[in-house]
């Protein structure tokens, strides 16, 4: 029976959680936490895996993902601001081409007459 190898895509938060688990369980290679050593210990039966999510791991992942979400929001807001600025400049170009003063320029003073009397 041949098995098909398939890669598992992990994001940075998951890698950090995996390395944290390896560090806590003493799965080290040359003094550094090793996910490969962790997998070896699990495969050889030195460690047993329980199929439930640990609250500490969930809190750790939530804490690490929060800056990513905030960064995405900042990026979206920056894109919106840039689009608004491009639109404003485009409108200003159209106004200048039509001979209309830009909105940022104050209107010229209105002529007035003095009545004698």
**Residue-level pLDDT at 117:** 54
**How far lies 73's CA from each of 7, 13, 86, 87, 117, in Å?**
30, 18, 20, 21, 65
Kindly report the three-state secondary structure assignment for every residue of 80-98. HHHHHHHHHHHHHHHHHHC
* Residues 87 and 81: beta-carbon distance below 8 Å: no
Among residues 14, 15, 35, the alpha carbon closest in space to that of 23 is found at 35
> What is the number of residues in the chain?
117
**For each of the chain's 117 residues, which pLDDT tens digit applies?**
677 878 878 888 788 888 888 888 888 889 888 889 998 998 999 888 877 777 877 887 777 777 777 778 888 889 999 999 999 889 888 988 988 877 766 666 777 766 665
On the 0-12 / 13-18 / 19+ scale of CB atoms within 10 A, 39 is middle
Q: With beta carbons less than 8 A apart as the criterion, state whether 60 and 82 touch.
A: no
Cα(89)–Cα(104) distance, rounded to whole angstroms? 11
């Amino acid at each position: 029976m041949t098995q098909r190898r398939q890669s598992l895509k992990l994001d940075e938060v998951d890698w950090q959680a995996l390395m944290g688990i390896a560090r806590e369980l003493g799965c080290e290679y040359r003094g550094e936490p090793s996910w490969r050593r962790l997998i070896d210990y699990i495969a050889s039966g030195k460690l047993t895996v329980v199929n439930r999510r640990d609250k500490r791991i969930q809190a750790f992942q939530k804490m690490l993902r929060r800056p990513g979400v905030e960064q995405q929001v900042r990026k979206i807001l920056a894109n919106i601001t840039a689009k608004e600025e491009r639109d404003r400049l485009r409108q200003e170009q159209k106004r200048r081409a039509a001979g209309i003063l830009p909105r940022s320029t104050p209107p010229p003073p209105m002529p007035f007459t003095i009545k004698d009397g």
